[in-house]
């Protein structure tokens, strides 16, 4: 495989990972806002899922990202970076708003994404 090519399913696997972790967040947050804010175990699970989402988003090829501008790739990566560099703090209200307002639409858009393999340029 040349340096300019990549396995065609790599982006599809990363997008699948993002969807899996979005589903995990949605499942964990069914407990409600107050319970979420009081439960450190759930907070850690959500923080982990958010970090994985951002990491996977950062690894999706630029070609696929550019073919799918409806996905806020940069925001997902920046959210992960902010989360990891804040050291032991999860902005609970921000995580809740993300889950309630952003997550459902993001998951729908990711399920319709076009993965673009890069075999030559």
Quote the DSSP letter at residue 9.
T
Q: Is 120 a residue whose pLDDT tops 60?
A: no
Cβ atoms < 10 Å from Cβ of 71: 19
pLDDT in the model for residue 86: 65
> What number is the average pLDDT over the span 55-72?
94
pLDDT in the model for residue 95: 83
Domain parsing of the chain, residue ranges = 10-111
Q: Where are the alpha helices (DSSP H) in the chain?
A: 10-28, 33-38, 40-59, 62-67, 73-85, 92-97, 103-111
Prediction pTM value: 0.82
**Each residue's pLDDT tens digit, 44-60:** 899 899 999 999 999 99
> What number is the average pLDDT over the span 77-94?
75
Percent pLDDT > 70 in the chain is: 83
């Amino acid at each position: 495989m040349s340096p300019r090519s990549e396995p065609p399913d790599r982006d599809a696997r990363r997008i699948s990972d993002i969807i899996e972790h979005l589903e995990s967040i949605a499942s964990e947050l069914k407990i409600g806002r107050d319970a979420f804010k009081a439960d450190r175990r759930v907070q850690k699970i959500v923080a982990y899922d958010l970090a994985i989402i951002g990491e996977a988003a950062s690894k999706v090829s630029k070609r696929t990202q550019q073919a799918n501008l409806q996905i806020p790739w940069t925001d997902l990566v920046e959210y992960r970076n902010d989360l990891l560099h804040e050291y032991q703090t999860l902005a609970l209200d921000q995580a809740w708003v993300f889950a309630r307002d952003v997550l459902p639409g993001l998951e729908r858009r990711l399920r319709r994404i076009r993965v673009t393999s890069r075999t030559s340029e």
